Amino acid sequence: MSAQQSIRFDGQVVVVTGAGRGLGAAYARLIAARGGSLVVHDAGVAQDGTGFDPSVTDTVVAEIAAAGGTATACYENLEDSGAGERIIECAIRHYGRVDALVNNAGLVVFASLAETERIVWDRMVAIGIRAPFDLARAAIPRMRAQGYGRIVFTTSGRAMRVEDCVPGLTAYAAAKMAQVGLMVGLAAELSGENIHVNAVSPVAATRVLRRNAPELAPDLVAPGVAFLASSACVASGAVLLASGGRFRGAWWDRSDTVDLGPTPASPEAVATHWSRLRPP
């Protein structure tokens, strides 16, 4: 697009999950300010996923309305069966369509593998994998019917490189990388249709990353997500790394091929060339 063209969401309906606080609230406010009608979803749960506080979502909806925007609240608990379908139905019921889906909601539980009991694992899977899958599955038929759609998943740098991870995040990393798999699979399935699927890997000072760091404000990530959710984004299958106003695109890389011949090589031969097989 030309430098003179503004990215707008006039006439479009955007669903943002986990939008009652932090990153999700920043995404919702920015997209609403650019003309989008928002479904602000948040169950208002505590950091461990328990409880319910509708005022968390209502506050963001009120902020958007006070600024002249349009938004409605949705309080579904993503752990509940059918929550994804009900969130998309909320968009259809209020606005008649859904143009973009931003899967922002997440849960972080620090626990070693031995400490990750089945109830913790099931909660991570429900929020980090099943909910984004169900939301996409509910939204895509509507997007196909209208010939347009954008989907944004959320992954994490913690999940993509050993160097960036810390102990206790095995379940979290698994859930976040699952969203990369959803992105890749859907991008391939929807190739040729005007429905583009990408992911964001954000770093921001929120109640998850608790620090007093104005340079990591969620508002500094929001422009990247607004772009991915807009008609200006016509690519699929990319991960946008976003932190403190700095953005990078990420795709899987591969090393150069080492040809060990047409007959089975020895494990020792593979070991000998291991340094060449590792991506740069």
Catalytic residues: 172
Contact 227, 238 (CB under 8 A): no
Q: Hey, what amino acid is at 192?
A: G
CA geometry: angle 93, 97, 102, nearest 5 deg: 100
Q: Where are the alpha helices (DSSP H) in 53-201?
A: 55-66, 83-95, 118-125, 131-146, 157-160, 170-189
Q: What are the beta bridge partners of residue 249? A: 240
What DSSP designation does 239 have?
E
What's the burial of 120, exposed, middle or buried (CB within 10 Å: 0-12/13-18/19+)? Answer: middle
